[in-house]
Amino acid sequence: MHFFRTFALPLVAVAMLPFDSRAAASLMVDDASTTDAGRCQLESWGRHTDAGGEWTAVPACTLAGTEWSLGITHQQAASSTQWALGAKRVLRDIDQRRWGLALSAGVGSDRQHLRSDDWGINAPVTIALGATDRALLHLNVGWAQADGARGRTDGIGMEIATAPGWSLLAETARDAARQRSSQFGMRRELWPGASVDLLAGRVHHQRDGHWITLGVNFAAAP
């Protein structure tokens, strides 16, 4: 029943949409790409932490050269729901060169407040390593305000294709409160436009800061 509550809403939302050829990952470190122009995607994941479970759904569509997203996260332990609006634009396309650059910005808050308390800007860079592009390096640097803290954010992540349909994922990131978190896992492509992520992570220097994440990602035509 817990699994059904976690994934029912995202699965129903995408079941009525035709699938396309792109799906993104639900990770801490962003990449320098967006959904294809005129296309939509849905990232969804359930996370079990030491404090309890939470689930997130982030639908996004690319219009006028910019990817627009709306994220909803529900934390069961705190019985709270947060929202986040985001915009992301690619400045240099990695599909045409060896590295790509994007710029993103977002605002968010608790569902009981229309005024956004949290905000952030981020510049993701993706670098293709090697001639076969089987390994991608993702670098992030930005600035954010969240939960009363304000400061620089950064992150570094690796995505390595190990076999057809399988990839290894590893990343570490620092938030506005200067708290660093890391996670490691794998991704399985189910079919073009759909994938599943399984990740284990932890907040550094925090005894009860461990989690396990199961993500389901779809790409769909609008």
For range 6-10, the mean pLDDT: 37
Q: Do strands 66-75 and 80-92 pair parallel, antiparallel, or not at all (unpaired)? A: antiparallel
Domains of the chain: 2-220 (2.40.160.40)
For range 95-100, the mean pLDDT: 86
Q: Residue 15 corresponds to which amino acid?
A: A
Q: Using an 8 Å Cβ cutoff, are 52 and 146 in contact?
A: no
How high is the pLDDT of residue 11?
33
Quote the CA–CA distance of 158 and 85 in Å, as a whole number.
26
Q: Residue 155 corresponds to which amino acid?
A: G
Q: Express each pLDDT in 160-180 by its tens digit.
A: 999 999 999 999 999 999 999
Q: Is the dihedral of CA 63, 125, 215, 47 positive or negative?
A: negative
Quote the CA–CA distance of 73 and 45 in Å, as a whole number.
10
Q: Express each pLDDT in 112-159 by its tens digit.
A: 766 778 999 999 999 999 878 899 999 999 999 998 899 999 999 999
For range 207-219, the mean pLDDT: 93
Q: What are phi and psi of 5, to 5 degrees?
A: -60, -35
Q: Using an 8 Å Cβ cutoff, are 91 and 97 in contact?
A: no
From residue 117, alpha-carbon distances to 108, 120, 148 in Å are 6, 11, 8
Instruction: Strands of 4-130 (E only): list them.
Output: 40-49, 52-63, 66-75, 80-92, 99-110, 118-129
How high is the pLDDT of residue 25?
56
